Amino acid sequence: MKEQQYYEEIEHLIKSNEINKRVRKLEENHSLVETYWQIGKLIFEAQGGSKRAKYGNELIKKWSVKLTELYGKGYNASNLRKFRQFYLSFEKSSPLGSKLSWSHYRELLIFKDANKRNYYINLCIKNNLSKRELINEIKSNSYERLIDKPDKIDIFIPNKSTITTDMKNPIIIPIQNEVNNEHDLELSIISNLSFFFKQLGQGYSFIDNQYKISDGNNNYYIDILLFNYKLNCFIVVELKLRSLKKEDKAQIEYYMKLVDEQIKEVYHNKTIGIIISKDSDKLIVNFIKSSDIIPLYYNLQERIKL
Given a contact cutoff of 8 angstroms between Cβ atoms, the answer to whether 221 and 215 are in contact is no
Question: From CA 284, how far away is CA 281, in angstroms rounded?
Answer: 10
Count of alpha carbons within 13 Å of 107, Cβ hemisphere only? 19
Of the candidates 198, 208, 212, 195, the one whose C-alpha atom is nearest the C-alpha of residue 234 is 208
Residues 6+ apart with CB under 8 A from 240: 182, 248, 275, 276, 277, 278
Higher-pLDDT residue of 51 and 187 is 187
107 pLDDT above the threshold of 90: yes
Sign of CA dihedral 142, 146, 151, 152: negative
pTM for the model stands at: 0.47
For the chain, the domain total comes to: 2
Task: Examine the domain organization and report whether 287 and 186 are in the same domain.
Answer: yes
| Residue finishing a domain among 109, 128, 160 | 109
125 pLDDT above the threshold of 60: yes
| Residue finishing a domain among 85, 109, 133 | 109
Q: How confident is the model at residue 76 (pLDDT cuts 50, 70, 90)?
A: very high
Task: Examine the domain organization and report whether 291 and 186 are in the same domain.
Answer: yes
Domain residues for 61?
A: 3-109
25 pLDDT above the threshold of 50: no
Residue 287, domain CATH:
3.40.1350.10
| Residue finishing a domain among 109, 138, 172 | 109
Residues 6+ apart with CB under 8 A from 112: none
Which has the minimum average pLDDT: 33-37, 84-88, 180-184, 258-262? 180-184
